[in-house]
Amino acid sequence: MISNKMVKTVVVKIERLKKNQKYGKYFKTSRNLMAHVENAKDYVLGDEVLLEETRPMSKEKHWRVIQLITRDRGEEPAELQEEQETKEP
Assign residue 42 a region: left if phi > 0, alpha if psi is -120 to 50, beta otherwise?
A: alpha
Report the predicted TM-score, pTM, of the whole model to 2 decimal places.
Answer: 0.73
**Residue 84, beta-bridge partner list:** none
Per-residue model confidence as pLDDT tens for the chain (89 residues): 899 999 999 999 999 999 999 999 999 999 999 999 998 888 999 899 999 999 999 999 999 999 998 887 755 566 666 666 666 65
Helix (H) or strand (E) holding 84: helix 78-87
Contact at 8 Å (CB) between 8 and 41?
Answer: no
User: Which CATH code, of 2.40.50.140, 2.40.37.10, 3.40.50.720, 3.40.50.2300, is assigned to 9-87?
Assistant: 2.40.50.140
Tell me the domain boundaries of the chain: 9-87
